[in-house]
Amino acid sequence: MKFLATRGAIAAVALSLSAFTASAQENPECIAPANPGGGWDFTCRQVGKSLQDQGLIDQTMQVVNLAGGGGGVAFAEVVNKRNDADNLIVAASSATATRLAQGAYPGNTMEQVRWLASVGADYGVIAVAADSEIETLPQLLDQIKADPTSVSIAGGSAVGGWDHLKVLIAADAYGVEDVRRVKYIAFDGGGEAVTQLLAGSVQGFTGDISEAKGFVDSGDIKVIAVLAPERLDGEFADFPTAREQGIDAIGANWRGFYAPGGMSDAAYDEWVSKIGELYASDAWKEVMAANGLAPLDLQGDEFQSFVANSVAQIQSISREIGIIK
């Protein structure tokens, strides 16, 4: 019996070591809660590549696009099926906080996951097709004032999500009496929304500057307003702000990551450290400059508190404009 017990113990240890080795060999994974081409997809792919380039991870980051529900499908997947995964991170932003603030992830709250770190803030933009006759934000909003049914605005977040809120904030600041009449059409990611804009299905696009940049560079769209306090630097300096056009609308979309709620403390601390080290690197500063990201340096508990405050603020805005009661 003693021999059998010893043999069983050895087998158990061998199985445990095997599981540990398999876990250690798993590629790091990042879930982008939208289709390719949007801000969450950009966050996963750019951070994954940069982490590997900087030697902070020694394997390629696997990016999984899991679209649906303005991030709700991915959130539920992590909470219900991947809760103890140590190799998994998920791209998040103000859009995530917005859906959580509005109770749009049924049964889910921000406390069910662990918030890792931010990697910058991405200012919102409102854009039109490059060949559109509309040249300014007031022109677009005047059309909406005159006939709300004549203008559809596409975005990569769900109805009531952050992309939707940005155009409502601009409309409210311009004096549109009932912003709930603004026609917003939701798509699973900014890339799909821009595709519909180019097809002529919608007349405007609301998103973030990082996801709009590629379409501006290709000559497909023109940005008629950046929702920043003042003009951005470098190659974004030509884009006018809403504020300089007489519309006091600011919309900064923070970008960062959450992890499964059951992630081990060791894995959590390691991810926080890696993302923090990446953020501090000169290489990441270059990525931020090239993609119009503004500074936002938060990790661990500080980031957790920031997200909680973001959720509370968005709840207040959503009540003011009638999205929630």
Domain-embedded: residue 9: no
Please tell me whether residue 283 adopts helix, strand or coil conformation.
helix
pLDDT number for residue 177:
87
The first and second tokens of residue 151, run together, are 């203008």
Helices then strands, counting H and E runs in the chain, come out as: 11, 10
pTM greater than 0.85 (yes/no): no
Among left, alpha and beta (phi > 0; psi -120 to 50; other), residue 31 is: beta
**Most confident option among 4-8, 140-144, 307-311:** 140-144
- pLDDT mean over 161-178: 91
On the question of pLDDT at 88 being above 90, the answer is yes
pLDDT tens-digit map of 107-133: 999 999 999 999 999 899 999 999 999
Full domain range(s) for residue 146? 123-252
Q: How far apart are CA 125 and CA 239, in angstroms?
A: 9
Q: 168 and 257 in one domain?
A: no
Q: How far apart are CA 88 and CA 68, in angstroms?
A: 19
Q: Which has more pLDDT, 317 or 67?
A: 67
Domain-embedded: residue 14: no
pLDDT number for residue 3:
34
Amino acid (1-letter code) at residue 44: C
- pLDDT mean over 71-92: 97
Q: How far apart are CA 272 and CA 56, in angstroms?
A: 12
Per 3-state DSSP, the chain is made up of helix, strand and coil in percentages (nearest 5) of 50, 20, 30
Domain-embedded: residue 12: no
Q: 241 and 153 in one domain?
A: yes
pLDDT tens-digit map of 195-246: 999 999 999 999 998 888 889 999 999 999 999 999 998 889 999 999 999 9
- pLDDT mean over 239-258: 95
* Domain tally, the chain: 2
pLDDT tens-digit map of 266-293: 999 999 999 999 999 999 999 999 888 9
Nearest CA-CA partner of 314 in 13, 70, 117: 70
pLDDT number for residue 135:
97
Q: 175 and 293 in one domain?
A: no
